[in-house]
Amino acid sequence: MNDHAIVVEGLEKSYGSVRALCGVDFAARTGSILGLLGPNGAGKTTAVRVLATLLEPDGGTARVAGLDVVKDAGALRARIGLAGQYAAVDENLTGFENLEMVGRLYHLGKAESRKRAQELLERFELTDAAKRPAKTYSGGMRRRLDLGAALLARPPVLFLDEPTTGLDPRARIGMWETIEARVQAGTTVLLTTQYLDEADRLADSIVVVDHGRVIATGTSDELKDQIGGERLEVELEDSGDAEPAISALAELAQDRPSADGTTLRAPVRARPGIIPDAVRRLDAAGVGVVDIALQRPTLDDVFIALTGHAAEEEPADEAPQREEVTAA
C-alpha cells in the first residue's frame, strides 16, 4: 500500500451558511499519529466524521487506507475504527456483550468476536467488570470500553475524537499508553484534541485548524518554535530591579527578556535545572524574587501567535460553534 494511510485534499463541508471545513489538506504517514489540534468548533469533529464515512463532504477528496471515503465507503468501514467524543456504548449491555456485538457487526463471526471481546477486556483491565452493565462503569471505564470497540477488528486506521476529554489525569495517561501501543503495532491514528500537551506527547505530526482552515502544520517542536516555546516568568520584589534582572537572565533566554512592572518574561528552551540556574543568576545579581515559574505554551499561545486572536474568542459575525451543537 502507499506510504500515507490518510490523504485529505481540499476538503469542504458546510452546514447551511456555516462553513465547517473550507478546503482542508493534510496527510498521515502509515503507522504514525496525526494530531488535529484546534478549539471547539474549529472543524476537527467534522473532519473525523467525513473520514469515518459518517458525513459526505461538499467538495475535495479524502482517501483512507487507499480507499475513497465516498465511493468506497462500504469497503472502507471494515478497515477503520472510531472512538468518539462520548463513549458510544450500550449502557444496558455488559462490557462483554457490547464488544461481542461490535465484533459480530464487523462480521468476525461468533467465536472470533467472543475471543476478541475477552482479549480486549483483559487488555483494558475490564475483566472484573465484564459482566456488569456498562451503566455502572466510570467515565474512564466507558472510554476504555469504547476504545476496545474501535480496536475490535484490528483496523489499520483508527480515528479518535478527543479521546481524553473529561478523563482524570491517571486515566488520561493510561489512554495515551494504549494509543502508543497501537501505533507500535502498525496502526495509523488520527487524533483530535484541544490540548497541546496531548498532541505534544502523542502526535508525530500536528495539524492546527481554526475556523475550518489549516493554519499550521509540523511536528510539535516545529510548532513550538513557531509560537516561541516556553518562557520563564519571574515576579520581582521591586520593579526597580527589572534592568539588572534582564541582564542576569539574558544568557539563559533565547530572546531579550521583557519586563512589565514587577513581572519579567524570558523566552527560554525548557531543560531540567533551568529554574535553579535562573534563581542563582538573579541571586548573584542581588535581585529579590517573589515567585518564579516556567510557563509552557498553551493552546491559547498557539492561537495568539498563529491567528492573532485567542482560541476562546468568538468572532461576532460567524457561528463556528455549529460543530458543538451537533456534537455536544
Partner 1 sequence: MSSLAVTIEDSLILARRNLMRIPRQPDLLIAYTVQPVMFVLLFVYVFGGAIQTPGFDYVDFLMPGIIVQSIAFGGFVTALGLSEDVTKGLIDRFRSLPMSRAAVLAGRTSSDVPLNCLSLAVLLAVGFVAGFNMTTGAGDIALGILLLLFFGYAFSWVFALVGLYSSTPETANAIGFTAIFPLTFASGIFVPAASMPDGLRQFAEANPFTTVTDAVRHLWLGTPANTDVWMSFVWCTAILAVFAPLAVNRYRTVAAR
For partner 1, the closer CB: 75 or 290: 75
Q: Kindly state the smallest distance separating residue 78's Cβ from partner 1, in Å.
A: 4
Q: Kindly state the smallest distance separating residue 131's Cβ from partner 1, in Å.
A: 12
Instruction: Kindly give the interhelix angle for 299-307 and 220-227, rounded to the nearest 10 degrees.
Output: 60
For partner 1, the closer CB: 111 or 328: 328
Q: Kindly state the smallest distance separating residue 88's Cβ from partner 1, in Å.
A: 4
For partner 1, the closer CB: 97 or 180: 97
Q: Three-state SS across 143-196?
A: HHHHHHHHHCCCCCEEEEECCCCCCCHHHHHHHHHHHHHHHHCCCEEEEEECCH
Q: Kindly state the smallest distance separating residue 184's Cβ from partner 1, in Å.
A: 24
For partner 1, the closer CB: 138 or 326: 326
Q: Kindly state the smallest distance separating residue 211's Cβ from partner 1, in Å.
A: 20
For partner 1, the closer CB: 104 or 114: 104
Q: Kindly state the smallest distance separating residue 77's Cβ from partner 1, in Å.
A: 4
For partner 1, the closer CB: 53 or 220: 53
Residues that bind partner 1 (CB under 8 A): 49, 52-55, 74-75, 77-78, 80, 82, 84-93, 97, 101-102, 104-107, 133, 149, 326-328
Could you give the CA distance from residue 155 to residue 276 in angstroms, rounded to a whole number?
A: 48
Q: What separation in angstroms does the CA of 65 have from each of 47, 56, 152, 186, 234?
A: 16, 17, 17, 13, 50
Q: Kindly state the smallest distance separating residue 326's Cβ from partner 1, in Å.
A: 5
Could you give the CA distance from residue 102 to residue 291 in angstroms, rounded to a whole number?
A: 54
Q: Kindly state the smallest distance separating residue 97's Cβ from partner 1, in Å.
A: 7
For partner 1, the closer CB: 108 or 268: 108
For partner 1, the closer CB: 36 or 249: 36
